[in-house]
Amino acid sequence: MSVWIFGYGSLVWRPDFPHVERRAAWIDGWSRRFWQGSTDHRGVPGDPGRVVTLVREEGARCWGSAYRIESGNGEAILDRLAHREKGGYDRITLDIHLAAPGEGAVTGFVYFANPDNPNWLGPAPLPDIARQVRRSHGPSGANTEYVLQLAAALRDMGVEDAHVFALADLVKEDGAP
Ligand code: SIN
């Protein structure tokens, strides 16, 4: 039996776990937003960076990458991802639509930061988010890298995400690499 994981943030551009295949995919009814604080990857406690989570939105579509993993080592991979996503993300199960024609949907896991988690930051004006991103660094590196790599990966896939692209433009205008 296959296990599928849908990534919409760092899991799009840095899937550091073994997978059998990777597909462009989307989930319906959710938008990607830089509303989650990161104190263990792109920021530190007391000075969090900003990373993405999903927010429910009627009619919205969030594009990302679907990964199929071997069910035999599924538990080990899910344990590793639970550690990586431990800064406020819960694992939920959703329908994941595979982009290739005729492939339909699979059921799989998605890491979702709920507003009641301790690292939740919520909405803010985009220029404020850009300033926070520019100054934030954590054990996984610069917060700017997270934003720019995600924007580049989504552009490579040929998909639109106004929130991510506008933030990436602001981060670049601010003189980030
Ligand atoms: C994801 O990429 O799917 C979850 C959020 C993140 O790790 O950036």
Q: Which residues line ligand 1 (CB under 6 A)?
A: 7-11, 51-52, 85, 111
Q: What percent of the chain has pLDDT over 70?
A: 98
The structure's pTM equals: 0.94
Instruction: Exactly one of 21, 57, 58, 85 is catalytic; name it.
Output: 85
173 has pLDDT over 90: no
174 has pLDDT over 70: no
The answer to whether 71 and 87 are in contact (CB under 8 A) is no
Query: What's the pLDDT band for 103 if we cut at 50, 70, 90?
Result: confident
Residue 85 known to be catalytic: yes
